[in-house]
Chain A
Amino acid sequence: MVGGLGQHVFDLSRFMAAMGETVHIITPRMGNYPDYWIENGVHIHRVGCPAWEGEDFKSWTFTFNSEAIREAVRLNVLVGGFDVVHAHDWLVAYAGRSLAKIFEIPLVSTIHATEHGRNLGLHNRMQMEINEIEKNLALESELVICCSNYMQEEVHTLFGRPKEDIRVIPNGVDPDLFTALPDQPRFNISESDKVVFFIGRLVPEKGVWQLIQSFPQVLQQVPEAVLYIGGRGPQQPQLEKLVRDLGISDRVVFTGFITKEDRNYVYNQAKVAVFPSLYEPFGIVALEAMATHTPVIVGNAGGLAEIVEHRVNGLKVTPGNVDELAQAIIELLTDDDLANRLQETGYETVKSVYGWDVIAQSTLNVYREVIYRKKRLLVEA
């Protein structure tokens, strides 16, 4: 379990385990975590070297695949045979494919994002190789799961997999994870501050550049506004320079790495959360903000566009349009009625559509379907 992907796999698994299923996760070793652990009913096995993003990432990945295979072969006997193997993203494509083939069990894969989408095209050998691996994973899986209609379309057009074989199951959000607060908040937010919050990786596709560019306009109308930028990423130095160049350093805070508790604290204080992404396969952050009763503004792109219904549970702006973004922020900072209405409907959306119980159940249905299909195929053969 690495990063957001790891959290997703764990949440999905623990809700499945709660429904009485046996779930084993095989994931890279990490820090001081034990090699085998049962948490919330989920069996977590850690193998290989800790994950790292060194220059030899590809080698590390393939070696991890071989270690994961070894572990799965060992476990297969102990559990009396697995019924299905579920691969999340290209990182485990070869392990997933070989295990499915050798154990003659169905393979389900979740494609969370594509290399083509992440990089707005394929620009070097490594990206082309990853694209190829994703394609073969998508084509060889019995069924593919994507988190949004947008991603379904992307996987369909990029890899040629028919749409009926790509199931859309959104990512889930557990509102309980957003309640814990820090004993001593790291940030000193005063009553009068009107906090605008962004959180995410600082990479161009997230649209933080445009957010910062819109902020002088916001300050003109709402001088008490403060922009909190949570998270880290390669674009951070350029973003910090932009803030200095615009002369708004005193109204913008880069939090760097932020703990869950501190994040919850900022959400608690925030008047509005902004995710102006240019590319976004799903947009889990918007749901997280909704789970904290914060009204959201999102870029009308990818999965975000599907979660947010304009002026019902949030506001949508044209990706990359700085003026429109500024106007939306100003509106929410000044119109309390609108802000209240959006955050209430937003919270309802999270509960009814994106609850993990709903999502785990849909995923189990996919498993049942592929197991049934495979059996039928074997009988026919």
Chain B
Amino acid sequence: MNARIIMVLHSHIPYVKRQGRWPFGEVWLFEAMAETYVPLIINLLKLDEEGKQTPLTMSFSPVLLEQLNSKYIKQEFVNYLKERESMARSDERYYLSQSDLEFAGIAAYYASFYRDIRRDFEIDLQRDIIEALRYLQGRGQLEIITTAATHAYLPLLDRSDLENQVYWGKRLYEQVFSTEPQGFWLPECGYFQGIEDVLIANGFKYFFVDSHAIEGGKPLGVMSPGGSEPETEVETFASTGLSTYRPYRVENRDITVFGRNSMVSQQVWSSEYGYPGDEDYREFHKVSPRSGFKYWRVTNRNHPLDKKQVYNPDKALLKVKQHAAHFVGTLKNTGQNAIEMGFSSPLIVACYDTELFGHWWWEGVNWLSEVINHLHNSTELELVLPSQVGPATYEAKVFESSWGRGGKHYVWENEETAWMWDIIRKAGREYQNLKGLEQETLMGQKAMSQALKELMLIQSSDWLFMVSNNLTRDYAMKRFFEHYTKLLRLTNTVQNQQFDDNFREWLRRIQYEDDFFSCL
């Protein structure tokens, strides 16, 4: 055995339950479930059944867990799958009537995809994704970690808001998995010196940062696919001479930090040479106006959408095998290089957004299974879980950083979002001002706990990201203002202690609307 690999998949969808269905809202969650979570978990269960070791590290945002756990979402998801299947069938009939057998074939392929996912979800998973996660964690195939309660961008939050996000991130995890989380995923790898103290206070043993936070140098600044790319100032960090091939203890603190390996991250993420841009893979951006299905392949990354050619699923699967083999080869070389540099058992940490596989990169789930298969059979590489790595012996000072463009906070704090941070901070103070007061009535307590939910929803990094990148901006701003208005109505009523019937009735309704964090 030569090199150890930690593969981290970070999963998050903002809270969209009962907050609009289509084109923005619940459909985001349903797509991620159908295209990523369900197929990925089914694959992991299969590998487990075959007696293979699949140790993956996965983080799930508490808001996502809550939604996956919701009866309403489960039912609506089944409806969504039925709708997609029948839409695909209707596409198939349409293309047959046009004697377009190629397109009809792809339509049929989608119809069976959604039928299979529905069967997997209803029968194999018994509609319970979380139970499957518990099972896989119990089998040692997964190490599930947590993150900020509503996926807030932590480095820019006020201290008390930051503490809430970490504390409730942990509490919710415990409620769902009945065990204490060991690791914490910093949303967007957003780190500043001091955050580790909040993590330590909550009993966390490790967290992850981007490469330049440890090694210094030029940040990768890779963003999720789909983001537009305005000019960003890229900060160059001083070279430290440290390496992500080993874990570190944060300087003078009792917590381990893992640095992302830039090489293997780029191999998958890069929009220029990453695998998902291969000509045979399905094109994400071109969508049938009839049905929303995607019938085309990338063809050539630089070609405009009207130049795309028809997708061929079988051909794409051949590429998956080649790319999985290539990736494992890259891991071997990287490990070999590290050994030559003097690391006896180098660590390679690969972190990705879970939704990259399947949702953005349609073939990604298959690719991941192939890679795991390769690693299972390899004598030079071993997939490991963070808790198996053992205590870090070296210390490191970690740079303030993120995995976003420019390497620091720019993506979430810029001229487009400055006003949002003012409101986020005002909202925090609004809540803190009342928090100290003893609420004698049950109504007062209910209002305060709802206020905390609204406060944390305002803090979701998603709204900032969408406004900053001009993606579904109106939806983001609408949600941002609505949660702020709810918070103000709650705090104002608590302040005046005017819990009239009108308010009671309303509170009941918004408790239903924003009903996550039942433990709160």
Binds B, one of A98-106, A160-168, A270-278, A309-317: A98-106
Known contacts A70-B488, A77-B492, A94 near B502 by CB under 8 Å: no
Binds B, one of A17-25, A56-64, A199-207: A56-64
Closest A residue by C-beta to B422: A63
Find chain B residues with CB under 8 A from A62 CB. 419-420, 477
Closest A residue by C-beta to B510: A102
Does B488 contact A69, Cβ atoms closer than 8 Å?
yes
Find chain B residues with CB under 8 A from A95 CB. 481
Does A133 contact B484, Cβ atoms closer than 8 Å?
no
Does B478 contact A66, Cβ atoms closer than 8 Å?
no
Which chain B residues (408-426) contact chain A, with CB distance < 8 Å? 415, 418-420, 422-423, 426
Find chain A residues with CB under 8 A from B486 CB. 102
Total A-B Cβ pairs within 8 A: 62
Known contacts A56-B415, A59-B419, A77-B498, A102 near B485 by CB under 8 Å: yes
Minimal beta-carbon separation of A293 from chain B (angstroms): 47
Does A97 contact B481, Cβ atoms closer than 8 Å?
yes
- Not counting A66-B423, A69-B488, A73-B492, a sample of 8 additional A-B residue pairs whose C-beta atoms are within 8 angstroms of each other reads A63-B419, A66-B422, A69-B485, A94-B477, A94-B478, A98-B482, A98-B485, A102-B486
Find chain A residues with CB under 8 A from B489 CB. 73, 76, 102-103
Q: Does residue B470 face the partner (Cβ distance < 8 Å to A)?
A: yes
**Contact surface of A with B, Cβ cutoff 8 Å:** 56, 59-60, 62-63, 65-66, 69-70, 73-74, 76-77, 81, 94-95, 97-99, 101-104, 125, 129, 132-133, 136
Q: Does residue B197 face the partner (Cβ distance < 8 Å to A)?
A: no
Closest B residue by C-beta to A95: B481
Contact sample, A vs B, 24 pairs, CB 8 Å cutoff? A59-B415, A60-B419, A62-B420, A63-B419, A63-B422, A66-B426, A69-B484, A69-B485, A73-B489, A74-B492, A77-B492, A77-B493, A81-B502, A94-B478, A94-B481, A98-B482, A98-B484, A98-B485, A99-B485, A101-B482, A102-B489, A129-B470, A129-B473, A132-B473
Q: Whole-angstrom distance between the alpha carbons of A70 and B495 in the complex?
A: 14
Does B473 contact A66, Cβ atoms closer than 8 Å?
no
Q: Whole-angstrom distance between the alpha carbons of A81 and B503 in the complex?
A: 11
Minimal beta-carbon separation of A55 from chain B (angstroms): 9
Q: Whole-angstrom distance between the alpha carbons of A125 and B230 in the complex?
A: 12
Find chain B residues with CB under 8 A from A136 CB. 474, 478
Q: Report how many residues on chain B are interfacial, defined by Cβ distance under 8 Å.
A: 25
Does A97 contact B493, Cβ atoms closer than 8 Å?
no
Closest B residue by C-beta to A66: B423
Q: Does residue B506 face the partner (Cβ distance < 8 Å to A)?
A: yes
Minimal beta-carbon separation of B119 from chain A (angstroms): 35
Minimal beta-carbon separation of A161 from chain B (angstroms): 16
Find chain A residues with CB under 8 A from B426 CB. 66
Find chain A residues with CB under 8 A from B493 CB. 77
Closest A residue by C-beta to B502: A81
Q: Whole-angstrom distance between the alpha carbons of A63 and B419 in the complex?
A: 6
Find chain A residues with CB under 8 A from B506 CB. 104
Q: Whole-angstrom distance between the alpha carbons of A94 and B477 in the complex?
A: 8
Q: Whole-angstrom distance between the alpha carbons of A97 and B20 in the complex?
A: 15
Known contacts A81-B502, A132-B473, A98 near B478 by CB under 8 Å: yes
Find chain A residues with CB under 8 A from B496 CB. 77
Find chain B residues with CB under 8 A from A77 CB. 492-493, 496, 498
Does A69 contact B481, Cβ atoms closer than 8 Å?
yes
Find chain B residues with CB under 8 A from A65 CB. 481
Find chain B residues with CB under 8 A from A97 CB. 478, 481
Which chain B residues (455-492) contact chain A, with CB distance < 8 Å? 470, 473-474, 477-478, 481-482, 484-486, 488-489, 492
Find chain B residues with CB under 8 A from A60 CB. 419
Q: Whole-angstrom distance between the alpha carbons of A239 and B420 in the complex?
A: 41
Q: Whole-angstrom distance between the alpha carbons of A104 and B493 in the complex?
A: 16
Q: Whole-angstrom distance between the alpha carbons of A60 and B502 in the complex?
A: 33
Minimal beta-carbon separation of B481 from chain A (angstroms): 4
Minimal beta-carbon separation of A74 from chain B (angstroms): 6
Find chain A residues with CB under 8 A from B473 CB. 129, 132
Which chain B residues (93-123) contact chain A, with CB distance < 8 Å? none
Residue in contact with B418 in the complex, picked from A59, A99, A101, CB distance below 8 Å? A59
Closest B residue by C-beta to A59: B419
Which chain B residues (374-426) contact chain A, with CB distance < 8 Å? 415, 418-420, 422-423, 426
Q: Which 5 A-B pairs have the closest CB atoms?
A: A98-B485, A98-B481, A102-B485, A59-B419, A73-B488
Minimal beta-carbon separation of B477 from chain A (angstroms): 6
Q: Whole-angstrom distance between the alpha carbons of A69 and B488 in the complex?
A: 8
Find chain B residues with CB under 8 A from A102 CB. 482, 485-486, 489
Residue in contact with B423 in the complex, picked from A63, A104, A132, A133, CB distance below 8 Å? A63
Q: Whole-angstrom distance between the alpha carbons of A256 and B506 in the complex?
A: 53
Q: Whole-angstrom distance between the alpha carbons of A132 and B466 in the complex?
A: 15
Find chain B residues with CB under 8 A from A132 CB. 473-474
Residue in contact with A125 in the complex, picked from B420, B470, B492, CB distance below 8 Å? B470
Q: Whole-angstrom distance between the alpha carbons of A66 and B480 in the complex?
A: 10
Minimal beta-carbon separation of B89 from chain A (angstroms): 30
Which of A69, A125, A132 counts the most chain B CB atoms within 10 A? A69
